[in-house]
């Protein structure tokens, strides 16, 4: 679509992908993704999921709108896998002896990672605010044991349960009942890593902060922002060796750094 008539707030929706160039961020604007490289239509959620490096066999449930949201908001599993592998080096305190060939892209685009040959110890992780599960899939592919995932979104829960038999807690992580369920699942296990992405909308420059000139904008009234402290509550309770929190850069400067 010609630049001069595109809606500015849905820019990526109208951009045609190029076979030999990097794809733009998969933002599900207007329930659609960027335009297919050769066909006159937007990408399907499945095509966008492949760009996001989700395995082809990973099914996103729900109608197209829900699928677009799940895929567009997801962290790419490939990125999660790279982070997990680097983190493993620090936890095991050994130099990794693998090679570039450890990361293979199979014919069906599923990412497969060989086991770390240095140690038989299988590290574990918990995935909070899991979304479509991109980070969790990456950690699994890096050889970690998945203890449980949790998220408030029913669509996330349906998709997760369709693809996994791992425990999943559906509910508000700030709820004491949910917190107790998490403690029961963990039991006396020693947790190696906690990962998670508390909601970023309140911190993002593309959320309410785009209206920052409005005097009515008060970040302390957005209850989603407090969920980063909920995340830290779980970190304190389970005391992992490492934790990783995914969010946006706006977290650092919102309300003069109050949330950071």
Tens digits of residue pLDDT in 48-62: 999 999 999 999 999
Give the pLDDT confidence of 174-218 residue by residue, as tens digits.
Answer: 899 999 999 999 999 999 999 987 764 443 444 444 445 444 555
Output the CATH code of domain 12-72.
3.90.120.10
For 92-98, what is the mean pLDDT? Answer: 60
Span of 47-56, 96-105, 155-164, 222-231 with lowest mean pLDDT: 96-105
Distance CA 43, CA 35 (A): 6
Catalytic annotation, residues: 200
Confidence of residue 107 (pLDDT cuts 50, 70, 90): very low
CB pairs under 8 A, 24+ apart, for 110-118? 110/55, 110/56, 110/57, 111/53, 111/55, 111/77, 111/78, 111/81, 111/138, 111/141, 112/141, 113/81, 113/85, 113/141, 113/142, 113/143, 115/143, 116/85, 116/88, 116/92, 116/143, 118/92, 118/94
What are the domain boundaries of the chain? 12-72, 77-257
Confidence of residue 111 (pLDDT cuts 50, 70, 90): very low
| Domain 77-257: CATH superfamily, name plus number | Vaccinia Virus protein VP39 (3.40.50.150)
Q: pTM of the full predicted structure?
A: 0.76
């Amino acid at each position: 679509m010609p630049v001069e008539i595109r809606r500015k707030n849905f820019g990526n929706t109208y951009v045609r992908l190029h076979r030999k160039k990097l794809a733009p961020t998969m933002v599900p604007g207007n329930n659609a993704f960027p335009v297919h490289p050769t066909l006159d239509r937007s990408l399907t959620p499945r095509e966008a999921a492949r760009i996001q490096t989700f395995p082809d066999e990973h099914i996103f449930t729900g109608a197209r709108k829900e699928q677009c949201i799940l895929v567009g908001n997801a962290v790419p599993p490939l990125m999660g896998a790279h982070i997990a592998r680097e983190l493993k080096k620090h936890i095991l305190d050994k130099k990794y002896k693998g090679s570039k060939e450890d990361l293979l892209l199979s014919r069906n685009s599923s990412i497969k990672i060989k086991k770390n040959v240095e140690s038989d110890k299988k590290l574990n992780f918990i995935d909070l605010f899991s979304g479509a599960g991109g980070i969790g899939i990456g950690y699994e592919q890096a050889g970690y044991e998945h203890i449980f995932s949790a998220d408030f979104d029913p669509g996330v829960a349906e998709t997760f349960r369709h693809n996994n038999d791992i425990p999943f807690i559906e509910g508000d992580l700030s709820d004491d009942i949910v917190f107790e369920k998490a403690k029961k699942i963990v039991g006396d296990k020693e947790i190696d890593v906690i990962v998670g992405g508390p909601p970023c909308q309140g911190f993002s420059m593309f959320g309410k902060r785009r209206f920052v000139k409005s005097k009515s904008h008060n970040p302390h009234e957005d209850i989603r922002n407090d969920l980063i402290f909920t995340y830290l509550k779980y970190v304190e309770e389970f005391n992992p060796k490492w934790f990783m929190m995914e969010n946006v850069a706006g977290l650092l400067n919102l309300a003069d750094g109050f949330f950071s």
